[in-house]
A = this chain, B = another copy of it.
Amino acid sequence: MLCLAQLSRAPPPRPRAPDHPSLERPPRPRLPTRPPPAGPLGQGIANAVGLATAEKHLAARFNKPGHTVVDHYTYAIMGDGCNMEGISSEAASLAGHWGLGKLIAFYDDNHISIDGNTEISFTEDVGARYESMGWQVIHVKDGNSDVNAIRKAIADAKACTDKPTLIKVTTLIGYGSPNKADTHDVHGAPLGADETDATRKNLGWEHGPFEVPSNVRDAFKNAATQGADSEKEWNATWEKYAKEFPAEAKELNSILKGELPADWEKSLPSFTPEDKGLATRLHSQTMLNALAPVIPGFVGGSADLAPSNMTLMKMFGDFQKDTPAERNIRFGVREHAMGAIANGIALYAPGFVPYCATFFIFSDYMRNPMRMAALSEAGTLFVMTHDSIGLGEDGPTHQPVEHLASFRAMPNMLMWRPCDGNETAGAYAVAVANRKRPSTLALSRQGLPNQAGSSIEKAKKGAYTVYGAEGDCDAIIIGTGSEVPMAIDAAKALEADGKKVRVVSMPCWEIFEEQSDDYKKALLPKGTPTVSVEAGSSFGWAKYSHAHVGIDTFGASAPADQLYKEFGITVDNVVAAVKSLM
């Protein structure tokens, strides 16, 4: 059960010599430091759908008649396990819907998984399922030795340009091993010396271990020559293209090289308290629509919640089968595949900045691709609205409680919870700049005032004084997101009692941890009574605060105001918590 995705013919070769110094050539799509690893079954085929989506989009957007600069197939290899996982169904359904004709997936149909023969749990007709989702399905009956049948299947797959193709290749696992073929003994363990010898004999293989036969070496050499010829040919195509379409060449180059346009960050607006207070999901929409026109590789969408997540880029249409040059992606209710497809787009080229969106609670459906983004250094943006009990009547099935903590605990993930327009802009500024770290943005459904003490630059420190005393003080109140106004109100009540209080807004723990020790110690000195307030679990807050006002149970269905009151997330309780420490 192997699961990986690869580009077959990377569109643009790496720049080589200074022989055309005036002509800047785009680099080959970056290989991530940690490549998308095999392992979590089904991620690979969904990554491959992302790669094929990226290719179809770039080809439609940049190729010109007589100038085909983006043109390659995406191959993936799947096992039985990949096909049992729901994510592969989600991804395949989208691939069929989008008509990804250049996606070719091999299904190694060997009938063996870890528990034994797949008959014990997997008896569906996989081919018919793919056909129902708009794929061409080809069956290679003997994948062990009939190489020509595989060759023909690939040719037939390429001939079908409006559908992805599944090539089901029936094989024997451990083919050639006289005693272990067709058993799960060869799934995860080596054959052992004796059985290896027996297999060599059985197959008539007369070469030693790690000895590459000369005909194999020659075949690889030929492939290298063919590759060099292809590269030469492509370079000539690119030169002509760049001369004839300099603007397009520049834009494609920036996507493939990952060089964001100068001043892209200046497109982000800033806010003052006089600006209307809005939900941060609305500010997020503003940021998406500010960034989309200036960043060529900005693409993304929602899992059927675009009008709630506020994620449509208004200047673009929908990426669809017949309109693939557009940039709004409609993922349907498929969070798991959405995350992995977005990762595939991110890893296709470093100038792609893909975002994907759902309610924060449904991060539970896509947690593995979010982790895989962090692990494989894909700078995907996860736009997560409806970030607390503040979403109200949808009730506890929709109300995140432990989710902020769970992503703060995840390595290499930036977990943002902005409190207003400036912090939302700051979060996007850092998220877009971090092309090797994914960001999760927890955004409010409810409206929030713009703070006098916030700014984009301050937000980029992860935590800062948003209100009150900068230096020595009697108490510190840390708030995040929708609870920053409550922290400020509590501080004002304590000030009326003669106390000196600092309110720290802390939109991103991870970025704060990266500031200088001096900055961190000055902002949150040890020993000063500190209370945190956040409409989420107290879990983890003991690192920064001596008491926490939040919610450690599931929520309930009621208007937001009532829920905050019932669960005790109130100004009075913050004040009481501070007083209890003094």
| Interface-located stretch among A333-341, A438-446, A476-484 | A333-341
Check A365 against B368 for contact (C-beta < 8 Å).
yes
Instruction: Assess whether B408 is in contact with A539, with CB atoms less than 8 Å apart.
Output: yes
Q: A114-B307, A336-B86 are in contact. Are A365 and B96 (CB under 8 A)?
A: no
Q: Check A233 for interface membership: any CB of B closer than 8 A.
A: no
- Contact B397 A115, beta carbon cutoff 8 Å: no
Q: How many residues of A contact B (CB 8 A)?
A: 87
A364 engages B375 (CB within 8 Å) = no
Stoichiometry (number of copies) = 2
The residue in A115, A362, A372, A552 that gathers the most chain B C-beta atoms within 10 A of its C-beta is: A115
Question: What are the interface flags for A546-557 relative to B under an 8 Å C-beta threshold, 1 for contact and 0 otherwise?
Answer: 000000111000
On chain B, the residues within 8 Å of A466 by CB distance are none
Instruction: Decide yes or no whether A437 CB sits under 8 A from chain B.
Output: no
A94 to B39, CA, bound (A): 23
Question: What separation, in Å, do the CA atoms of A400 and B395 have in the docked complex?
Answer: 30
User: Could you tell me the distance between the alpha carbons of A495 and B423 in the complex, rounded to whole angstroms?
Assistant: 51
Closest to A92 in B: B124
Chain B residues, Cβ within 8 Å of A118 = 332
* CB-CB nearest in chain B for A1: B333
Whether the pair A395, B318 counts as a contact (CB closer than 8 A) is: no
Q: Are A553 and B132 in contact (CB under 8 A)?
A: no
A39 to B123, CA, bound (A): 30
Q: Which A residues between 101 and 123 are near B, CB-CB below 8 angstroms?
A: 113-115, 118, 120-123
CA distance A89 to B1 in the complex (A): 19
Contact A397 B39 (CB under 8 A): yes
- The yes or no answer to A306 lying at the interface (CB within 8 A) is yes
Could you tell me if A113 and B332 are in contact, using CB atoms closer than 8 angstroms? Answer: yes
Write out the residue numbers on chain B whose beta carbons fall within 8 Å of the beta carbon of A34.
396
A406–B539 CA distance with the chains assembled, in angstroms: 9
Partner among B87, B115, B124, B552 whose Cβ is within 8 Å of the Cβ of A304: B115
Given contacts A93-B122, A120-B330, A333-B84, contact A409 B411 (CB under 8 A): no
Decide yes or no: A411 and B132 within 8 Å by CB, A39-B398, A93-B124, A333-B84 being known contacts.
no
- Is B402 a contact partner of A331 (Cβ separation < 8 A)? no
User: Footprint of B on A, CB under 8 Å?
Assistant: 1, 34, 37-41, 80-82, 84-90, 93-94, 96-97, 113-115, 118, 120-129, 131-134, 302, 304-308, 318, 320, 330-337, 361-362, 364-365, 367-368, 371-372, 374-375, 394-398, 401-402, 405-406, 408-412, 537, 539-540, 542-543, 552-554
Q: List 5 A-B contacts (CB under 8 A).
A: A81-B304, A81-B333, A86-B86, A132-B132, A409-B409
